[in-house]
């Protein structure tokens, strides 16, 4: 702290000057003994744990009528003397003992700070400031006589360090500390615990747009009914949390049912439609609860606020509404290099957004769960999402075990791994789609790179698409996913879905009716204008279906185009490589269908109202135990510039038109093609 010499100008050499200097020197020594550092600010040493008033406010002497310096008396003097002051609080417990009398000064109730001040304890394990004993018969959330500190220093600086602040209570705002000004407030190396607020900011409420910074601190066991059980950032205020632990903030700590009431730990409470800002770095946010329909047990970014999270761990946070770890309203969220584990919510087990934008980079989501949509993440309404270089592992929900997209904004998923996520079918919800990711969007979804591996769902073990939006999947691997019904790897129910340079390997559909071990183009859940699906430059191999279509089951309401793709080693009851019963056309161009097997239609079975075309395609080495080793037709088929060879079946090793007693049921056109050397069942059966 800066010091300035105290000067008194008198005539040189006068006796009055000498006497004055002596008096001034004596005064300085006396003031320093009582706690006055210099004219720039006080440096006060508290020496009593009692709660008592200063005897003569403004004389720069921290002294009660008992001749001691209490914390309240020290703040009274610091308020009265202009300048940045410091109060040193030694080890001990300093409890409020003077009840509030509905006024806003320091003489009763909370400790009001009206000038720049530093309050420094001897360490959070040694110096305790608490709210005292609550009135007799008070409800369980009333922790003490009053809140503990209220900051009223517009444009000033106030800091608290090296102390524990506990058992404060405010009927409305800020159980431990309320920044009721535009001051810059710093809390460092401190513990705030057991505080409660009837409205917002169980521990800290940044009420009118100031700046609050929390570092190297612990905020645990605090409660607020409406917003921010640990910290509430209101209006256009700014909040920074660094190297801190925010844990166990919940209604249960004050004896209330945490499923019925209580806000999450940190909140951007956008009162007056202001745009507050929160930055959280290198921190741990865990075991917080939001009840009574409150969103975001860890952090709730309400309204249009800005939230930035870096190198932070979220674990075991629980919300009875949306967003176990983080909720975003219409604001923006950026998450980098962070971990989300074992968080849970109604929707969006770890992170839920009902609008705005969310960006997630280099982060891990594991073992999060949701009762409804999005085991790890939910995006809904008009929200837009970007997820880069991240991992979703062992998350679960009814739909979208890893990620559920219900929004209309642009969603970009790049180099993301979805592994062992689960979409569960419940008795009350006929869903269970998208083990890794489910999209029900009218917007655009772009998935690039990454992988979907060992995910499980009722439909769409790896990925499912519903809604009328546009989906592009490029360079992604779908392997060892499992669906109880259709789409072991991928389920396309509607929209325009384009799949380029993908690998669909070793996926399983257990359904005996509608399969698609690798891909199911189902297309009949929500018919969309311009519905279509395309597979290009891809590899679909070693997938299995208990029913139709080992590689691909096509029954969509729009066209399916398969181009420059290899479909090999797949197995099914019918249609080893491709099963087509859709009303729209199927075109297979410049592709290879080889080594697939089925009871009927080892390569292709086509039996829909839509026409099937094979062009510049090889159908080779496929096997059927009954009909159509290469191709089985009960509809309209054109084979052009193609080769059908070395396929096996009991009837129609190469091409079977009809099968069994229905020989001749379909219509087959062959032009500029080779149908030869199919060693069992003949090259052709039927017309």
Which strand (E) or helix (H) includes residue 307?
A: strand 306-310
Tokens of 369: 């769960």
Position 486 pLDDT exceeds 90: yes
Tokens of 83: 């300048």
Q: What does DSSP assign to residue 25?
A: H
> What's residue 686's pLDDT?
84
Q: Where are the beta strands (DSSP E) in 433-551?
A: 437-440, 444-448, 451-453, 456-457, 463-466, 470-474, 477-479, 482-483, 490-492, 496-500, 503-505, 508-509, 519-521, 532-536, 539-541, 544-545
CA gap 118, 611 in Å, rounded: 81
* Contact predicate 576/598, CB 8 Å: yes
Mean pLDDT, rounded, for 662-677: 84
User: What burial class does residue 601 get, using C-beta atoms within 10 Å of its C-beta: 0-12 exposed, 13-18 middle, 19+ buried?
Assistant: buried
Write the pLDDT tens digit of every residue in 581-603.
Answer: 978 899 999 999 999 999 999 99
Mean pLDDT of the chain: 90
Tokens of 93: 């417990």
Q: What is the 3-state secondary structure (H, E, C) of 147-177?
A: CCEEECCCCCEEEEECCEEECCEECCECCCE
Write the pLDDT tens digit of every residue in 16-63.
Answer: 233 333 223 333 333 333 434 344 588 999 999 999 999 999 999 999
CA gap 395, 142 in Å, rounded: 38
Tokens of 609: 């109202």
Tokens of 56: 């003569």
- Reduce the DSSP state of residue 331 to 3 states and report it: coil
> What's residue 23's pLDDT?
29
% of the chain beyond a pLDDT of 70: 91
Mean pLDDT, rounded, for 609-636: 93
CA gap 130, 195 in Å, rounded: 9
pLDDT classification of 102: cutoffs 50, 70, 90:
confident
Write the pLDDT tens digit of every residue in 309-336.
Answer: 999 999 999 999 999 999 999 999 999 9
């Amino acid at each position: 702290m800066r010091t300035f010499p105290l000067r008194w100008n008198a005539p040189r050499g006068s006796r009055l000057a000498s006497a004055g200097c002596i008096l001034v020197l004596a005064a300085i020594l006396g003031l320093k003994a009582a706690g006055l550092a210099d004219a720039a600010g006080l440096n006060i040493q508290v020496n009593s744990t009692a709660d008592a008033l200063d005897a003569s406010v403004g004389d720069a002497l921290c002294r009660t009528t008992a001749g001691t310096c209490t914390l309240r008396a020290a703040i009274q003097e610091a308020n009265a003397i202009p300048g940045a002051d410091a109060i040193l609080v030694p080890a001990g417990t300093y409890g409020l003992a003077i009840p509030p009398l509905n006024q806003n000064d320091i003489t009763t109730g909370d400790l009001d700070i009206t000038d720049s001040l530093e309050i420094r304890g001897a360490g959070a394990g040694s110096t305790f400031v608490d709210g005292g004993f609550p009135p007799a018969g008070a409800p369980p959330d009333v922790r003490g006589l009053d809140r503990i500190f209220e900051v009223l220093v517009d444009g000033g600086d106030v800091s608290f360090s090296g102390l524990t602040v506990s058992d404060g209570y405010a009927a409305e705002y800020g159980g431990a500390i309320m920044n009721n000004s535009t001051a810059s407030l710093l809390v460092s190396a401190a513990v705030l615990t057991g505080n409660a607020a009837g409205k917002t900011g169980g521990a800290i409420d940044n009420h009118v747009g100031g700046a609050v910074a929390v570092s190297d601190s612990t905020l645990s066991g605090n409660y607020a009914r409406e917003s921010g059980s640990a910290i509430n950032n209101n209006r256009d205020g700014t909040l920074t949390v660094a190297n801190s632990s925010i844990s166990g903030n919940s209604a249960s700590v004050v004896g209330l049912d945490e499923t019925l009431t209580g806000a999450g730990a940190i909140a951007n409470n956008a009162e007056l439609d202001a745009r507050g800002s929160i930055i959280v770095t290198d921190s741990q946010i865990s075991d917080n609860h939001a009840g009574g329909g409150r969103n975001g047990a860890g952090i709730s970014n309400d309204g249009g606020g800005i939230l930035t999270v870096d190198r932070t761990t979220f674990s075991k946070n629980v919300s009875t509404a949306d967003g176990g770890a983080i909720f975003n309203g219409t604001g923006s969220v950026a998450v980098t290099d962070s971990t989300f584990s074992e968080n849970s919510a109604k929707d969006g087990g770890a992170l839920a957004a009902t609008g705005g934008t969310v960006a997630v980079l280099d982060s891990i989501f594991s073992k999060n769960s949701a009762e409804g949509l999005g085991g790890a993440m939910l995006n809904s309404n008009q929200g837009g999402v970007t997820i880069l270089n991240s991992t979703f592992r062992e998350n679960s929900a009814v739909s979208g075990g890893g990620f559920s997209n219900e929004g209309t904004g642009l969603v970009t998923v790049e180099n993301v791994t979805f592994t062992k996520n689960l979409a569960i079918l419940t008795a009350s919800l006929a869903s269970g789609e998208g083990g890794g990711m489910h999209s029900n969007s009218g917007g655009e979804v772009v998935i690039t790179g990454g992988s979907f591996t060992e995910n499980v769902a009722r439909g769409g073990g790896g990925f499912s698409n519903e809604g009328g939006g546009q989906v592009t999947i490029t360079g992604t691997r779908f392997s060892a996913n499992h669906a109880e019904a259709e789409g072991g790897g991928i389920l396309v129910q509607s929209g325009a879905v384009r799949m380029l340079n993908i690998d669909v390997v070793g996926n399983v559909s257990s359904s005996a009716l509608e399969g698609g071990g690798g891909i199911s183009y189902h297309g009949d859940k929500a018919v969309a204008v311009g519905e279509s699906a395309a597979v290009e430059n891809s590899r679909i191999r070693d997938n299995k279906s208990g029913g139709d279509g080992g590689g691909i089951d096509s029954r969509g309401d729009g066209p399916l185009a398969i181009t420059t793709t290899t479909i090999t080693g797949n197995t099914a009851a019918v249609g080893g490589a491709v099963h087509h019963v859709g009303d729209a056309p199927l075109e297979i161009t410049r592709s290879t269908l080889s080594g697939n097997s089925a009871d009927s239609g080892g390569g292709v079975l086509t039996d829909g109202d839509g026409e099937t075309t094979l062009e510049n395609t090889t159908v080779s080495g496929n096997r059927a135990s009954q009909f159509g080793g290469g191709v089985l037709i009960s509809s309209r088929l054109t084979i052009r510039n193609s080769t059908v060879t070395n396929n096996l079946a009991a009837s129609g090793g190469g091409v079977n038109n009809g099968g069994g007693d229905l020989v001749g049921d379909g219509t087959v056109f062959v032009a500029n093609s080779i149908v030869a050397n199919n060693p069992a069942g003949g090259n052709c059966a039927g017309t």
